[in-house]
Structure formats: C-alpha cells, structure tokens
Amino acid sequence: MGEPLLIRASLLNPVGADHWVFYRDGGLLVHEGRILCMGPMSEFRQQKVSAMLELDSLLVPGFVDVHIHWVQHHVRGRFQSDLMEWLRNHIWPEEIEFDNELFARRHAQTFFHDTTRAGTTLGMAYSSPHVRALEIAASEAIGDWVLGNSIMEKAAPEPLCRASPDNADQVAPLLKKLGHEHYAVTPRFALNCSAELMRELGDLARRENALIQTHLSESLNEVREIREAFPEAQDYTDVYDRAGLLGPRSVLGHCIHLSPREHETLARRGAWIAHCPSSNEALDSGRMDLQAVRRHGIRYALASDVGAGPSHSMLHVMQRFLAQHRDAGVDVNAREALYHATLAGAECLGRDDRAGSFAPGKRADFVELPLPDRRGGPDHWFESLLAGEARDLEERPLRTWIGGSPVDLGQEEDGDDWPPLG
Ligand SMILES: [Zn+2]
C-alpha cells in the first residue's frame, strides 16, 4: 500500500486551449499511482505527510501522441520526398520486415524505450499489417497505448496486402484480445481499401464503439488519386463519411487540403484531427489550416507521425507547431501547444478521466523537465524548453513518471546521461 508521497516541484497544468495553471512552488500528492491533490506548496504545509520528495525541476503531465507509426521509428526522418513516393519507395518495403518476430520485438522495445525517454506516456500507434507484430508491440508497451494493425487490401506491395473479407474478420478477435481501450480499427488510408471494406470496418467500429484511426488529405497527389479511385464521393472526407468511419471516436491524421464542406463534415461528425506539424514540414505536405479548424470548432490533438515526422519528441512537435503557424501569421502560444500535446490527446483517446493533466484521481503520469532560467513567466519558461534540435529535445526530459514512479529505462547503449533513478 505505502504512504502518500508529496512531491515538491514547479508544476504546469494545462486546463484548456488557452489556459494553464502554474505553481512555481507546487505540491503534488500521489498515492498508489494516482494523484490525490495538487496545488501551491503553501496548501500542504498543514498536512501531515510522511514522505516528501523535493525536485529541482518543472513537472508537466505526460505527453500524448495520437498518431505515430511505431514500425517506422527506426527510419524516422530519413527520407524527404512526396508522400506517395515516400510510402511506395521507402516505407512499405521497411514494413514488410515486421513479418519477422525477432525484428518486430527488437524494434518494439526500442520504440517504447525512446518514446518513454522523451516523455510520452499515452499514445495511439499504427502497426504494420502483421497481427503478430501488433501483439508483440502490445506486450512490450510502456505506458498506455492504443494500437492498430494497418489494414490494406490493395495498392501496396503484395506481402502487406490481405484479401478481404480476411481484413474485417481479423478485427473483431483483435478488439477482443487487446480490449477496446487498446485497439483501434485502422484502415491505413482510403487508397489501400475498397469502399466495401471501409463500410464493413465502419459498421464494426460503430457497433463496438471502437476507436478508428486513418489518414485524411495529407498531400495533393494523394487527393488527386482519391478522386480517381472514388468518383462517386463528393470529396476525400466523403469517402470516409459514406463508409461510416467518421464520429467522435475517429482520429484523422493530417487534414491539410480540405474544403469548407469537408471541415463542416468533420465538425458535424465530431471527429478528431491528429495534427502533425513536424511531419507536414518534413514531407512538404502543406500547413493544416488552423484558423479554419478553430472556426469550425473541430477538435484536434498534436502528434509526431513518426516516421514521416523526424522525431518522436512531443517537445519537438510543439516547437514545430508554434513555428509553422507563426510563420503563417497565425497567433499561437505555448499554452495551446502544451494543451494539445497532453489533455487534448487524452480527450481524443477517451482518457481524460484518467490522463492528460494533474487532477485528483488521475494517474500520476508526468514528465520532469529541467528548470529553465527563472526570468519571465511560465510562457517564457515553457518556450525556452522547446528550443533546440530534435535530438536534444528527445533527451530533454530528466525522467518520465508513470503511475507515480520514475520509469527505469536501464542503461542506454550509447552511454547517454540518463540520471540514476531513486
Ligand atoms: Zn501517419
């Protein structure tokens, strides 16, 4: 059982898109892996607490990455070309390798090590089409993950494609085995699936209230190919809408080249966007129209989209989010970035009752960051933590805590300065 532990540190807690609560001298009371309460340290002075830990660091809730391809982690940021070319020439040949169980296990271990090291404690990831690789990832996961095997029946190398109805038939047993909390129905994107298959998956997901993840409107070439493949649909978004794949449990990667009609459809269905600014920069896909997304009240959460995204660090994603929209003259700030990399992601995955912020009853999952220079307020503090190259940001967190304990990630092979764990 153990006694409650009071952690004294600076705390930054996102509570909304434009609002966070900051305690320069804060206290976080943790018991049995959950948060009992948090507030300014002065509120804890009267309380009798047997165990207290004083940290010279800034704590933020664990990061949430709602769109990442764990099977592309080892080739992240390596290729920069048009999306369709990149998939066909580089990514699909790599994913074929995940048929090999040893290969899959080794890469799963590295992926979860690296994402945890970088402060991600909750996420949703695409797997390769191989069911065994998906099960291996589920068994190796550190933290709280939703996984889905990419469902592909055509327009990709033969070893990645499965004939339908096998594709849909595979889903129900996997949902049962991994559980609704940890499995997402994952038609990779419309070009890989027939309208019939997507309809079947849409029906099943609705019946089971399952999470759905797919890609929508990432590049102009892709949009063009979709128009040819689905002449009956009004637009790309309509392809998914007709299949019943759009709802509040749907998470659509990218959503860059959308018409007002498509934005309206997403808003009406209550679907989520996985906004991947660093990936969009890397593949030169364009900028998601944040103003239109805000205007239509479409909900979005941030994501790394590794391997198109060059880094799994959500600090890096937040950096690119601010830079990309500011370059376009759009007003964005650090509060919005942190909210969309934490609490919004938890809401997107249906976990805001237990993750995404510091609140009583939630899991004590958080990231310990070095204290920035003490001038200025929290906006200045937090933005200074987002400065640097991707590699620096991947290693900026001092420790990642899951369920009230720092995760012991062991010695890194390259002898990096991972601090000893208490
Ligand atoms: Zn993706």
Distance 142 CA to ligand 1 centre (A): 21
Q: State the pLDDT confidence band at 79, using cuts at 50, 70 and 90.
A: low
Asked whether the predicted pLDDT for residue 421 surpasses 60, the reply is no
One-character DSSP codes across 296-364: TT-EEEE---TTTSS---HHHHHHHHHHHHHHTT----HHHHHHHTTHHHHHHTT-TTTSSS--TTSB-
Distance 79 CA to ligand 1 centre (A): 14
Considering Cα of 316, then 87, then 251, then 265, what sign does the dihedral take? positive
Distance 388 CA to ligand 1 centre (A): 24
209's tokens: 């209230």
Phi-psi region of 22 (alpha: psi -120 to 50; beta: other; left: phi over 0): beta
Which residues, in sequence order, are bridge partners of residue 370? 57
Distance 417 CA to ligand 1 centre (A): 31
303 closest CA partner among 7, 47, 69: 69
Distance 408 CA to ligand 1 centre (A): 29
Considering Cα of 70, then 76, then 82, then 87, what sign does the dihedral take? negative
For residue 1, what pLDDT is reported? 60
Distance 311 CA to ligand 1 centre (A): 13
Distance 106 CA to ligand 1 centre (A): 21
Whole-number Å distance between alpha carbons of 225 and 233: 13
pLDDT tens digits for range 380-395:
989 999 999 999 999 9
For residue 80, what pLDDT is reported? 67
Distance 68 CA to ligand 1 centre (A): 6
Distance 414 CA to ligand 1 centre (A): 29
Q: Where are the domains of the chain?
A: 5-61+356-406, 63-348
Distance 252 CA to ligand 1 centre (A): 9
Distance 305 CA to ligand 1 centre (A): 5
Distance 86 CA to ligand 1 centre (A): 12
For residue 375, what pLDDT is reported? 76
For residue 46, what pLDDT is reported? 77
Q: Which helix (H) or strand (E) holds 368?
A: strand 366-370
For residue 293, what pLDDT is reported? 98
Asked whether the predicted pLDDT for residue 20 surpasses 70, the reply is yes
Q: For 220-264, where are the E strands, in sequence order?
A: 250-254
For residue 414, what pLDDT is reported? 46
Average of pLDDT values for 229-240? 98
The domain defined by 5-61+356-406 folds into Urease, subunit C; domain 1 (2.30.40)
Distance 152 CA to ligand 1 centre (A): 14
Q: State the pLDDT confidence band at 417, using cuts at 50, 70 and 90.
A: very low
Distance 335 CA to ligand 1 centre (A): 25
Distance 218 CA to ligand 1 centre (A): 9
* 128-132, 173-177, 219-223, 369-373: segment of lowest average pLDDT: 369-373
- Burial tier of 225 (Cβ tally within 10 Å: 0-12, 13-18, 19+): middle
Q: State the pLDDT confidence band at 377, using cuts at 50, 70 and 90.
A: confident
Distance 295 CA to ligand 1 centre (A): 25
Distance 340 CA to ligand 1 centre (A): 18
For residue 416, what pLDDT is reported? 41
Distance 151 CA to ligand 1 centre (A): 13
For residue 420, what pLDDT is reported? 40
Q: For 62-177, where are the E strands, in sequence order?
A: 63-69, 120-127, 144-149
Q: Cβ–Cβ contacts within 10 Å for residue 194, how many?
A: 16
For 63-348, CATH gives 3.20.20.140
Asked whether the predicted pLDDT for residue 36 surpasses 60, the reply is yes
Q: What average pLDDT does the structure give for the chain?
A: 94
For residue 50, what pLDDT is reported? 78
Cα distances from 35 to residues 16, 46, 60, 90, 364, in angstroms, run: 19, 19, 13, 44, 5
For the chain, first and last CA: distance in Å?
A: 19
Q: State the pLDDT confidence band at 311, using cuts at 50, 70 and 90.
A: very high
